[in-house]
Amino acid sequence: MSRGGKTLAEIVGGLLFLVLIVGGGGAAWFWNAFNAGGPLRDETVLVIPKGSGVGAIADLLAREGVIESPLVFKLGVKFFSDDQPLHAGEFRFPTAASPRGAMQVLIEGKSVLHRITLAEGWTVREIFDALAASPVLDGPLPPPPAEGTLLPETYFFVRGDARGALVERMKANMTETLAQLWAKRDKAIMLETPQEAVILASIVEKETGLRDERARVAAVFHNRLKKGMALQSDPTVIFAVTLGKAPLGRDLTYSDLKRDSPYNTYVVTGLPPSPIANPGSAALKAVLNPAKTKELYFVADGTGGHAFAETLDGHNKNVAKWRKIQKQNKQAN
């Protein structure tokens, strides 16, 4: 009869060895010490370095207050680990973990998960800045990919995961998500390729942060495209100035709106040549299934959202209201 590679005779022989070491009642004492709750008062997270042997791990656990006796831990691993290895990594040890419990945590090897939230609408530069700033990720960043190829969302990873590997996950997620959403698109929209969907979604993402507005903003742009009207989106002008390499850091000027650039949707009709940011799945859904409206205009309404209009006259009235709000805000400050 065996337990994971150790025969009953080997286990009994090990216990007899312990008896010889500590005396007549030693086996019972060891069994209790190995299974009894340890000194840890609060759950704690420890990093077990790669290449650590059982002795080094035992010393680390004792030094950090997880266990009391390194010897008990080492003997326990020798006779009761069933020859299963102890993993390196970052692990969470529960309150009052016994030496056996600590051993089991390291055998199971379930590393602590970390998370990083990459905001929808961030540029590649902003995403890479966040990845570079993470003290938990490892390795260099790869060459930056094109805008619109990374899917921003919350990603989970373990300490030491490579930054390059996370970038590849983001690229794969964008490819998969875009393919799924494109297959479910409204066939009446004027987008001919998935890439065009990403371009328009990146503009929608920059125009509104409100989930309930995305499909409506997308509808405005679709309606303008159908009529051959310029999109006149301020975020595209900002990208024309910065190319996504840095924040604009100021208000747009009249000369900015006249800038000769394929990204300036005040001077060119149709879509820009490529995305201006990395849109999330909600913005992609919005442009592939826009709201059914006849609206052609929108402007900020002072509440964080926008006022929409079907006609230029209605839009001008909304703009006048917005300017009045801006003036009042300036006077209040």
pLDDT at site 331: 74
pLDDT band at 302 (very low <50, low <70, confident <90, very high): confident
Residue 83 has pLDDT above 80, yes or no: yes
List, in sequence order, every residue forming a beta bridge with 308; answer none if it has no partner.
298
Where along the chain do its domains lie? 2-108, 113-172, 186-332
Tell me what the mean pLDDT of segment 156-183 comes to. 97
CB-based contact 145:124 (threshold 8 Å): yes
pLDDT band at 19 (very low <50, low <70, confident <90, very high): low
CB-based contact 218:211 (threshold 8 Å): no
Residue 69 has pLDDT above 70, yes or no: yes
| pTM (predicted TM-score) | 0.83
pLDDT at site 9: 45
Tell me what the mean pLDDT of segment 268-280 comes to. 96
Residue 326, Cβ neighbours under 10 Å: how many? Answer: 12
Backbone dihedral angles phi then psi of residue 3, each to the nearest 5 degrees:
-125, 95
Q: How far apart are CA 323 and CA 331, in angstroms?
A: 12
Backbone dihedral angles phi then psi of residue 261, each to the nearest 5 degrees:
-155, 140
The string of DSSP codes covering 268-295 is S-S--SS-SS---HHHHHHHHS------
Considering only residues 183 and 15, tell me which one the structure prediction assigns the higher pLDDT. 183
Q: How far apart are CA 163 and CA 201, in angstroms?
A: 26
3-state helix, strand, coil in the chain (%, to 5): 50, 10, 40
Q: How far apart are CA 28 and CA 138, in angstroms?
A: 45
Q: How far apart are CA 120 and CA 203, in angstroms?
A: 11
pLDDT digits (tens, 9 = 90+) for 190-223: 899 999 999 999 999 999 989 899 999 999 999 9
CB-based contact 99:80 (threshold 8 Å): no
Q: How far apart are CA 36 and CA 307, in angstroms?
A: 66
CB-based contact 104:261 (threshold 8 Å): no
Residue 5 has pLDDT above 60, yes or no: no
Structure tokens at 172: 């794969």
Backbone dihedral angles phi then psi of residue 18, each to the nearest 5 degrees:
-65, -40
pLDDT band at 303 (very low <50, low <70, confident <90, very high): confident
Tell me what the mean pLDDT of segment 303-323 comes to. 91
pLDDT digits (tens, 9 = 90+) for 110-124: 999 999 999 999 999
Tell me the CATH class for 2-108: alpha beta
CB-based contact 104:85 (threshold 8 Å): no
Q: Report in angstroms the alpha-carbon separations of 288 from 22, 131, 174, 248, 284.
A: 74, 30, 15, 29, 6
| Helix ranges (DSSP H) in 134-249 | 163-183, 194-207, 214-227, 234-242
pLDDT at site 25: 63
Q: Which of 134, 146, 136 is nearest to 89 (CA)?
A: 136
Residue 91 has pLDDT above 80, yes or no: yes
The string of DSSP codes covering 124-143 is HHHHHHHHHH-SS-BSPPPP
Residue 23 has pLDDT above 70, yes or no: no
CB-based contact 174:167 (threshold 8 Å): no
Query: What's the CA dihedral at 89, 92, 95, 98 to 10 degrees?
Result: -40
Structure tokens at 85: 């290895």
